[in-house]
Amino acid sequence: MLSAQSLKEIDTELAKYPADQRRSAVMGALRIAQVEKGWLAPETIAFVADYIGIPAAQAYEVATFYNMYNLEPVGKYKLTVCTNLPCALRGGVDAGEYLKQKLGIGYGETTSDGLYTLIEGECMGACGDAPVMLVNNHSMCSFMTEEAIEKKLAELK
């Protein structure tokens, strides 16, 4: 189900916790699986749960609670735009609207070429850099003006 490299990375996560607290590694293990697969299918979540030795329901609880986990296929680049108040006051809503127009999709949609999925996100804790956008849950982009968005999209192609 997962590559040997991903299993090795999960083993590294598991080693961080006492043997009787393997459940603590579930967030890291799900992240590793998602990086490899692109999203978390139900069978992937169940596999991860089995591998770390917890009931599948516990892994599902985590995967469905946090919005960083993709429970359905997403584009190659998942763009999450913060529209909470601090970002909204500094152009977050405008950045989201610009991306919708530029990509021809709405929030929660993926471009027809499978390249981009656009998500409206919650606070990312970078209010001083507003508006912010997160690319694939890993790369924070600050001060997302229309020009900055154009530059980022060009880099991603």
- Taking only the tens place, the pLDDT of each residue in 17-68 is 999 999 999 999 999 999 999 999 999 999 999 999 999 999 999 999 998 8
Rounded Cα distance between 97 and 30, Å, is: 31
Residue with tokens 């003006």: 145
Annotated binding site: 82, 87, 123, 127
What's the whole-number mean pLDDT along residues 65-90? Answer: 94
Q: With pLDDT > 90 as the criterion, what percentage of the chain qualifies?
A: 93
Q: Peptide bond before 55: cis, by omega within 30 degrees of 0?
A: no
Question: In the CATH scheme, what is the code of domain 77-156?
Answer: 3.40.30.10
Question: In the CATH scheme, what is the code of domain 4-65?
Answer: 1.10.10.1590
Annotated binding site for [2Fe-2S] cluster: 82, 87, 123, 127
Domain spans, the chain: 4-65, 77-156
- Taking only the tens place, the pLDDT of each residue in 96-106 is 999 999 999 99
